Amino acid sequence: MTGRTEETLSYEQARDELIEVVRRLEAGGSSLEESLALWERGEELAKVCRRWLEGARARLDAALAEEGAEDAEAER
């Protein structure tokens, strides 16, 4: 795990690191302390991914609303 701060992670970086965290947790063999640290990192990464996706959804909704407004204006 790289441990980069969430502010510097792109969606793809966060997703890829989250995949690695899940793989390590599923593989087992970690101490309880390490497993908890992995779980916590996974939660942070999931939040980063969720924020990126929510931002993308908001941008898409805004673009669709703008397009709808332009279409309505053109029909007048």
Residues in the chain: 76
Q: Is the pLDDT of residue 30 over 60?
A: yes
Q: Is the pLDDT of residue 28 over 80?
A: yes
Q: Angle between the 11-27 and 32-75 helix axes, to the nearest 10 degrees?
A: 150
Q: What is the structure's pLDDT at 3?
A: 55
Q: Is the pLDDT of residue 34 over 80?
A: yes
Domain assignment present for residue 28? The answer is: yes
Q: How many domains does one find in the chain? A: 1
Domain assignment present for residue 40? The answer is: yes
Domain assignment present for residue 3? The answer is: no
Domain assignment present for residue 5? The answer is: no
Comparing 12 with 74, the larger pLDDT belongs to: 12
- Residue in the block written with tokens 């931002």: 55
pLDDT interval class at 11 (50, 70, 90)? very high
The string of pLDDT tens digits covering residues 36-59 is 999 999 999 999 999 999 999 999
Residues of the domain holding 64: 10-75
Domain assignment present for residue 1? The answer is: no
Domain assignment present for residue 69? The answer is: yes
Domain assignment present for residue 42? The answer is: yes
Q: Which two tokens stand for residue 28?
A: 């087992």
Residue type, 39: W
